[in-house]
Chains A and B, each alone.
Chain A
Amino acid sequence: MAWKIFLFLLLAFVSVAGIAFPIVPVPTKWYEFPFIPGLKENAKIIFFHVPTAWLSVVAFFMSTIYSFKYLRKKNLDDDAKSYAAAQLGIIFCILATITGAVWAKFAWGSFWSWDPRQTSIFALLLIYGAWFALRSSIESEEKRATLSSVYAIIAFLTVPFFVFIMPRIMKGLHPGSADDTNSGPVIDFKMNANMELIFFLSLIGFTILYFWMWNIGYKSIIYRDKINKQYRG
């Protein structure tokens, strides 16, 4: 119970800090963020956009890990875990796409411009969509679990191409792209210490939230399947 209160306080602090702390040219007080050229006031969305994008990838990764587990052990609980992870993943993926598009409108002038990372998140959305379409087309539980596991693993193999290779060959607008001159690689983001602190707190807070939701999600799927089986049997 205590960790739930802690999580609430953490996310509340991150939300308030992320929205309300001012951006000034030369930060002197602990609550002031630095002015990043090229990002300006838009920089604040980093506290909400990056965690959603991060979680959509984490969810996909977990979905793949449980697909592997399912193929090794053939335990339907692993399929439920993989399914629950993907259900959350598509929600975070949609959120990342929308927050990113809104950010892009103000930072780059248009909602969508096929920047490599936009292409990758679009491909991730397509993969999630195709994965759910595949699942809904198969009746038998075991067959559905096996085929969707195989598809999840194959789809996961394309991730390195999108994440590591595409941004380096295509021209991009995100920080860290091949032709980026003003704000360097993603890691060295010209954030100062307190901005980084709030950024990582936000990342941690959202990740804990994700795991909590995932835990509830897969348990509810397992119980639902059990109840369905009892009705039938």
Chain B
Amino acid sequence: MNAKAYALYLKDFRSEIRTRYAVNSLAMFVLVATSVILFSIGNETITQSLTAGLFWVVIFFSAMSGLSRAFVSEEERGTSLTLQLIAAPSTIFSGKLLFNIVLVFCMNIVITLLYSALFDGFVIKNLALFIAAFFFGNAGLAIASTIIAAIISKAGAKGTLYPVLSFPILLPLILTSVQLTLMSFEGASFIEAKFELAIIICYDVIMLTASYLLFDFVWKD
């Protein structure tokens, strides 16, 4: 099962290398969104809590612009029936999830580097906490957006519905991640942030379990 999931991930990865569809649109989206924010800030100095919020605004909308491709592309090419024949639903979900996780991590590392170069308020005092928040936040983002992408690919309206469906599901994750990012700016210790970290890990585990359980129903026609 793992070998098949990895093969599926490699397939997506290779087709991404060839077309560079998701990477190009994601990179441009990050650039556009960040520059809109920079233009609107102008010469003002913004607080650290606002910087943490804006950081996650860009992450959320970039994710919404790129991650729905995972399943929609299979439906568009008409390859989803073949996939149904050759692999179990959970294997397919694992492969797609792996691809989305890699995509989210690459995207967010770029966003983090851009922010630390461009925003004065983006000064991380507790790097370990930031990395922990970054890791679990991105994992949760990838998990929830993958299962929503699966739902979207089977529904009629594809592009517009994706952020609408994802936002309420991602809201607890985003609120907690903003809080954790702010804490890492302020240099809070792990003890102070343990409650928020627990929430974010709970969210990841719950969403991962539910996604694997429910994906069967979404995938089988």
Query: Which A residues contact B (CB, under 8 angstroms)?
Result: 71, 119, 123, 126-127, 129-130, 133-134, 137-139, 143, 146-147, 149-151, 153-155, 157-158, 161-162, 165-166, 169-170
**Distance of B64 from chain A, by nearest CB (Å):** 13
Interchain residue pairs A-B with the least CB separation, the first 3: A161-B172, A137-B157, A126-B168
Residue pairs across A and B with Cβ atoms less than 8 A apart, 16 shown, are A123-B171, A126-B171, A134-B151, A138-B154, A139-B156, A147-B154, A151-B148, A153-B214, A154-B144, A154-B147, A154-B148, A154-B169, A154-B211, A157-B207, A161-B199, A166-B175
Q: B39: CB under 8 A from chain A?
A: no
Return chain A residues, CB-CB under 8 Å to B203: 161
Q: B167: CB under 8 A from chain A?
A: yes
Return chain B residues, CB-CB under 8 Å to A146: 217-218
Q: Contact flags (1/0) for B147-176 with A, using CB distance below 8 Å?
A: 110010011110001001101110110011
A143 and B172 in contact (CB under 8 A), knowing A129-B164, A134-B165, A154-B147?
A: no
Q: How far is the CA of A147 from the CA of B220 in the complex (A)?
A: 11
Return chain A residues, CB-CB under 8 Å to B195: 169
**Distance of A116 from chain B, by nearest CB (Å):** 10
Which of B144, B176, B199, B218 touches A147 (beta carbons < 8 Å)? B218
Interface size on B, residues (CB 8 A): 31
Q: B88: CB under 8 A from chain A?
A: no
Q: Are the CB atoms of B179 and A169 closer together than 8 Å?
A: yes
Q: Are the CB atoms of A158 and B161 closer together than 8 Å?
A: no
**Distance of B137 from chain A, by nearest CB (Å):** 14
Return chain A residues, CB-CB under 8 Å to B217: 71, 146, 149-150
**Distance of B53 from chain A, by nearest CB (Å):** 12
Interface majority SS (helix, strand, loop, mixed), chain A: helix
**Distance of A131 from chain B, by nearest CB (Å):** 9
Q: How far is the CA of A170 from the CA of B147 in the complex (A)?
A: 28
Q: How far is the CA of A117 from the CA of B184 in the complex (A)?
A: 26
Return chain B residues, CB-CB under 8 Å to A166: 172, 175
Q: B206: CB under 8 A from chain A?
A: yes
Q: B210: CB under 8 A from chain A?
A: yes
**Distance of A224 from chain B, by nearest CB (Å):** 21
**Distance of B80 from chain A, by nearest CB (Å):** 13
Return chain A residues, CB-CB under 8 Å to B196: 169
Q: How far is the CA of A138 from the CA of B221 in the complex (A)?
A: 13
Q: How far is the CA of A211 from the CA of B41 in the complex (A)?
A: 51
Residue of B nearest to A146 (CB): B217
Return chain B residues, CB-CB under 8 Å to A162: 171-172
Which of B144, B156, B164, B207 touches A130 (beta carbons < 8 Å)? B164
Return chain A residues, CB-CB under 8 Å to B214: 150, 153-154
For window 125-156 of B, CB contacts with A under 8 Å fall at 144, 147-148, 151, 154-156
Q: How far is the CA of A119 from the CA of B203 in the complex (A)?
A: 18
For window 186-218 of B, CB contacts with A under 8 Å fall at 195-196, 199, 203, 206-207, 210-211, 214, 217-218
Q: How far is the CA of A126 from the CA of B165 in the complex (A)?
A: 9
Return chain B residues, CB-CB under 8 Å to A151: 148, 151, 165
